[in-house]
Amino acid sequence: MSCKCATFDPEEGRYSCSVSGDGCVFLYNPDSKRCAELYGEGPDAELLAEGCAVDERT
């Protein structure tokens, strides 16, 4: 599942995260669900905190 908060920065050659304001922890294919599980950030973090299942959005 891709993350809507990550955008590719061609100057850096990697993804940037609009939530953290820094480079995305995932160099390739940012994963919103995994980011929420590992770091508690991103668009899926609130859903996981509420105990909701995260759907397979793209």
Q: Is 42 domain-assigned?
A: yes
Q: CB–CB of 19/5 below 8 Å? A: yes
Q: Is 30 domain-assigned?
A: yes
Q: Is 23 domain-assigned?
A: yes
Q: Is 11 domain-assigned?
A: yes
Which pTM value belongs to this model? 0.61
Q: Is 39 domain-assigned?
A: yes
Domain count, the chain: 1
Q: Is 26 domain-assigned?
A: yes
- Would you list the DSSP string of 1-58? -B-TTEEEETTTTEEEETTTTEE-S-SSS-BHHHHHHHHS-STTHHHHHTTPPP----
Question: pLDDT band for position 8 (50/70/90)?
Answer: very high
Q: Is 40 domain-assigned?
A: yes
Residues in the chain: 58
Per-residue pLDDT reduced to its tens digit, 21-52: 888 888 888 888 888 888 888 778 877 777 65
Question: Which residues form the domain of 27?
Answer: 6-49
Q: Is 10 domain-assigned?
A: yes
